[in-house]
Amino acid sequence: MKLTRRNFLAWAGLGAVGAVACEGFGIRHGELDIQSSVRLPEDLVRGNDNWYASLCRTCPSCEGIVIRVMEGRAKMIQGNPFYPTNQGKIHARCESGLQALYHPDRISSPMRRTGPRASAEFSAISWQPNAMDALRTALQERGRSSVMITEPLRGHMALLVDRFSTAIGAEHLGFEAIDNNTYRAAVKNVFGQDSMPDFDLDNAAFILSFGADFLSTWVSPTRYLRGYGEFRQGDNRDRGMFYQIDSRFSMTAAAADKWLPVRPGWEGHLAMSLAQVIIEENLAAPGVNVGSLTGGDAQALNNFRPETIAPMAGLTAEMTGGDPVEFLKNLARSFAASRPSIAIGGGSAGASSNGLFNLEAIYALNFLVGSVGEEGGVKFNPGSPWDDVPSTSKVGGLEDWARITEQIRSGETKLLLLHGTDPIHGLPDSLQLRDAIIQADDLMVISFSPFLDDTSALADLILPDRVSLEDWGDDITEPGPGYQMIGFQQPVVNPLGDLDPLSFPDVLLTVAQELGKESQLPWANFKSMLREGSDALFELNRGSIEASSAEEFWNNLLKRGGWWDEQSTGPKSVQAPAGLLKTIAGKASSPDFSGIGMDADSFYLVPFSHNTLLDGYNGHLPWLQAAPDPLSTVTWQTWVELNDKTAEQLDVKEGDILRIESSKDSIRAVVYPTPAAPPDVISVPFGQGRQYGSDYATDRPGKESSNVMDILETTRVKDTGSLAWAGTRVRVSKTGESVSISKLEGDVRAIEIGLTPAEDIIKTIAPENA
C-alpha cells in the first residue's frame, strides 16, 4: 500500500508519543530519609515516573515547563530550570495544562452542524473519510475566497500556516483580543526593531512604568517577575526604586514604591513633561546628543512643561503628596539621576486613541537617560536562526476585523478557518461579526478547536485539534532574553481512549498533499518539519546543545527543552532617529472618548486582563476560574472595581449588581468597592461572559459572568488601527439585585492610607462617630 499522509494521519492516532525524557528531576536526594516508604500515603500512585521538557501553551509567552508522567498519565507541571526566560519559575496558568488535557468537555471527535447556525447542534462524524473529505472539498471550492484566523504564531507553525494559506489562496491573520500592535509600532518607530525588546529589570536601579501590568499579564510576566525579584533583592546592590503611572491600581501598581493614578490617555503627555524637565535642567546621561533628539529646537517640548501637563493629566496634591508640578520635576530628576533607569509603556497606556503617541513618548525617555542597549535598560533581540522561519507574530487589528466582517457580509469571504482563537468573544459586539456569520448563507466555517466556544459554536465543521501535551511544536520566544532562543514542545502522552483528536499541522499537511500542494509543503508530518529545523541548528555548530551527530542533537534538544545561543545577541546599540522627540511632540493629541461623552455622571472605563483567564483564552479551565485575583481575591465572577466614595454616592455596597452602560450596550457586574480605585474610573476584567461551551466558562445563576467587550466603543488607535479598549466612557446604575461575591479575602478589606485599622472600623461600622 502506498504511504500517503492520510495513511500516516490515521496511524498517528494510535500512538503519537515519541518524547525524550529529561534528566535531573524526580524524588529529591534524601526525601526517602524524611518520609520512608512504609509511611507514604495509602493513595500514592506507585510506579516509575519520567519528566519531559516542553512548552506551556496556556501562556502567550510560552514558558519552558517539565511534565511528570507516571504510567502514561501526565501528573504534574513545573518550570524548566534550564529555560532562559523563566528559569524554573512558572505562572499559575501553566499548571492548568493538565486540566486542558483531561477536561471532560473536550470535543471527542469531528462534528458536523445539524441544526441552524448558532444552535450549537452537531453530530459526530469520522475523520476518515467524512471529515477529511469535507475539508478537502471546502478548500477546493472556496480556498481562494477564504480567511484563516489563528492565535499569534511564531516558529515552524507560523511557517507552515503561512505556506498553507498561500498555497490555497487564503488570507492568514493572527488574532489577539488585546493586541500588542501599538506597542510593536512604537518599538519600530523609536528603536527601529521588529522584535519585542527585553527589559533588563534585574540590573535596573529605577523602573518607571506607564500602564503596563508587567507583573501580572502584560507580555511576559513570569520573565519580568523573576527580573523584578532581582531588582528588589539582588546580591550586592541596593533595593531599586519603582514608580507605576497607571489609571488602575493593578498588581504591578501594588508592588510599586509609588503609584500615580493618571487620567486615562494622558500617559504620553506626562512622559514628554518628564523629558522637558530632563532637557531643560541638563539632566541627560553623559554622551546623549540632546540636540539630535530635539531636532536642534531647544523649545520643542515647551508645550509639555509640568505646569501645563499636571492639571491636564488629572494630578492633584492629594495624589502626589504636595505640589503636582514639583512632584513631576522631582520624578524627572530622580529618574535621570538613578541610572541605570528604564521606562516601560504598554497596556492601557497604548489603548486610547492616542496610544501610539503615548508609547513613543514613554520609550523615547530611555534615550535621554542612556539606557538603550545597556545593562539595566532596554536590550534588543536578534532574529530567527532560520532564514525562513518567523520569529515575530503578525496580528490583525480592529481595522482588519472590520474589513473581514464586511467581506463576510458581502459574500467575498466564503470560507472561514479557525484555530486557537475565539474572535466573536474577543471583539466588540458592536462590530457585529457574529451577526455577519449567522446571516451569510454562502459562508462555510471550519473550526479546529478542541473545545466549544462562541465562534466554534457557529461552525459547519469542527475538527478537534490535540492539546499541547499531546502534540509537537516549537516557539521562538518573544520577547527573548536578548539572544537567540528556541523552545521545543513534544507530546508526553497519548489522547485518552474516548478521544479522537488529530494534530492540526498534520491535518494541514495531509490535505495539502491531496490538493496537489506538496511542492510548497514537502514535509511528511509536522515532526519531520521540526526535525529538519533541528538538523539546521546542528549544522550551525553553536549554541547550548553539544552533540556529535544530528540524532544526538535532536535527543539532547528535547531533553533540555530547547536551544539557545548566548553569543548570538541583538544589536548592542541603536541610534535614535534624528529629531525623535520633536517628531513625537508633533503627534501629541488628547484622547478621544466618543460615544457617551464626558458628562459629569459618566466614568472612564478601564478594562484589564484577568490574571489567569487573560482575555478569556483560558475561560474553560476551572482551576483558572477559581484562582483568586491577586488584589480583590474575586473568583468566577465579573466584578467592577469602583472607589469607596463613588460607591457611597451610588448607594451600593459589595455584592450589589450594577448595570454598566455605554453607547453600544450594557452589562452587569458585581460591585467591589476599593479605596484604591480613582474616583472617576471603574475597572472590569476581560475574560468572562462566554455564551457557548463548557459550563465552567459560560454564565449561570449566581455567577454574574459578563463580557466587557460587549460595551466597548469601536474607537481605534491612530496610525495602528488597533482597538482603543481603554477609550470608553460609561454610566452605571443600580439593578436592585445582590449576590454573594465569590472572594477569598473575607470581611477584612483594603483601607485608606492614613487610617489605622481601628479608625477604619469605626468609619465603617459607625460613620457618624468617625
407 and 327 assigned to the same domain: no
Distance CA 760, CA 276 (A): 41
404 and 273 assigned to the same domain: no
616-625 mean pLDDT:
92
Q: How far is CA 629 from CA 55, 412, 685, in A?
A: 24, 43, 10
CA 481 to chain centroid: 18
Looking at residue 236, what is its pLDDT?
Answer: 54
Looking at residue 746, what is its pLDDT?
Answer: 72
364 and 427 assigned to the same domain: no
Q: Is residue 637 part of a domain?
A: yes
Q: What is the mean pLDDT of the chain?
A: 90
Lowest mean pLDDT among 143-152, 235-244, 734-743: 235-244
| φ, ψ at 39 (rounded to 5°) | -100, 5
Here the cell at position 252 is 504591578
DSSP of 632-685, one letter per residue? Answer: T-B-SS-EEEEEHHHHHHHT--TTEEEEEE-SS-EEEEEEEEETTS-TTEEB-B
Residue with cell 542612556: 370
CATH number of the domain at 76, please: 2.20.25.90
Would you say 92 and 612 are in contact if contact means Cβ atoms under 8 Å apart?
A: yes
Q: Is residue 750 part of a domain?
A: no
pLDDT in tens, 710-720: 999 999 999 99
pLDDT in tens, 387-416: 999 999 999 999 999 999 999 999 999 999
Q: Is the pLDDT of residue 72 over 90?
A: no
Q: Higher confidence at residue 769 or residue 24?
A: 24
345-372 mean pLDDT:
97
Q: Is 425 exposed, middle or buried (0-12, 13-18, 19+ CB in 10 A)?
A: buried
Q: How far is CA 140 from CA 52, 148, 167, in A?
A: 40, 15, 11
* Total Cβ atoms within 10 A of residue 145: 17
Q: Higher confidence at residue 275 or residue 747?
A: 275
Residues 6 or more apart in contact with residue 77 via CB below 8 angstroms:
56, 65, 66, 67, 68, 90, 94, 95, 97, 98
137 and 156 assigned to the same domain: yes
Question: Of 87, 92, 241, whose CA–CA distance to 611 is shortest?
Answer: 92
* Total Cβ atoms within 10 A of residue 74: 19
Q: Is residue 555 part of a domain?
A: yes
**Diameter of the chain measured on Cα atoms:** 90
Q: Is 521 exposed, middle or buried (0-12, 13-18, 19+ CB in 10 A)?
A: buried
- ∠ at Cα 213 (667, 728), nearest 5°? 35
Q: Is residue 40 part of a domain?
A: no
DSSP 8-state secondary structure symbol assigned to residue 343: E
Looking at residue 704, what is its pLDDT?
Answer: 81
Helix (H) or strand (E) holding 260: strand 258-260
Q: Is the pLDDT of residue 27 over 50?
A: no
Edge-first strand order for the sheet with 483-489 is: 473-476, 483-489, 562-569
Number of domains in the chain: 4
* Total Cβ atoms within 10 A of residue 89: 19
628 and 706 assigned to the same domain: yes
Q: Higher confidence at residue 125 or residue 71?
A: 125
454 and 334 assigned to the same domain: no
Question: Of 212, 562, 141, whose CA–CA distance to 363 is shortest?
Answer: 212
Q: Which domain holds residue 467?
A: 111-174+393-477+483-569
> From its phi and psi, is residue 373 left (phi > 0), alpha (psi between -120 and 50) or beta?
left
Q: Considering the entire predicted model, what is its pTM?
A: 0.92
pLDDT in tens, 494-516: 988 888 899 999 999 999 999 99
- ∠ at Cα 146 (399, 521), nearest 5°? 115
Three-state secondary structure call for residue 425: helix
Distance CA 248, CA 682 (A): 8
Q: Is residue 319 part of a domain?
A: yes
Looking at residue 601, what is its pLDDT?
Answer: 87
186 and 60 assigned to the same domain: no
3-class SS letters over 442-476: CCEEEECCCCCCCCHHHCCEECCCCCHHHCCEEEE
Distance CA 266, CA 262 (A): 7
167 and 215 assigned to the same domain: no
pLDDT in tens, 684-712: 999 999 999 988 888 666 678 899 999 99
Looking at residue 752, what is its pLDDT?
Answer: 67
> From its phi and psi, is residue 88 left (phi > 0), alpha (psi between -120 and 50) or beta?
left
165 and 259 assigned to the same domain: no
31-55 mean pLDDT:
63
Helix (H) or strand (E) holding 511: helix 504-514
Of 509, 534, 569, the residue that ends a domain is 569
Confidence of residue 39 (pLDDT cuts 50, 70, 90): low
Task: Identify residue 756 by its one-letter amino acid code.
Answer: T
Q: Is the pLDDT of residue 734 over 60?
A: yes
330 and 214 assigned to the same domain: yes
**Helix-strand-coil split of the chain, %, nearest 5:** 35, 20, 50
Here the cell at position 724 is 482603543
Here the cell at position 124 is 459526530
* Total Cβ atoms within 10 A of residue 435: 15
| φ, ψ at 553 (rounded to 5°) | -60, -45
Beta strands in 471-561 (DSSP E): 473-476, 483-489
Q: Is the pLDDT of residue 34 over 60?
A: no
Most confident of 142-151, 313-322, 737-746: 142-151
168 and 185 assigned to the same domain: no
Q: Is the pLDDT of residue 279 over 90?
A: yes
Distance CA 732, CA 640 (A): 10
DSSP of 240-257, one letter per residue? Answer: PEEEEE-SS--HHHHTSS
Lowest mean pLDDT among 24-38, 246-260, 687-701: 24-38
Here the cell at position 274 is 518628564
**Residue 55 β-bridge partners:** 64
Length of the chain: 770
Q: Is residue 756 part of a domain?
A: no
158-174 mean pLDDT:
97
580-602 mean pLDDT:
89
CATH number of the domain at 161, please: 3.40.50.740
Residue with cell 459572568: 705
737-758 mean pLDDT:
71
Distance CA 443, CA 218 (A): 36
Q: Is residue 21 part of a domain?
A: no
CATH number of the domain at 600, please: 2.40.40.20
Distance CA 308, CA 727 (A): 23
Distance CA 190, CA 5 (A): 47
pLDDT in tens, 361-388: 999 999 999 999 999 999 999 999 999 9
Of 525, 557, 584, the residue that ends a domain is 584
Which is it for the CA torsion 423, 426, 427, 430, positive or negative?
positive
Q: How far is CA 463 from CA 83, 131, 310, 455, in A?
A: 33, 7, 55, 14
562 and 670 assigned to the same domain: no
Q: Is residue 17 part of a domain?
A: no
pLDDT in tens, 441-485: 999 999 999 999 999 999 999 999 999 999 999 999 999 999 999
CATH number of the domain at 323, please: 3.40.228.10
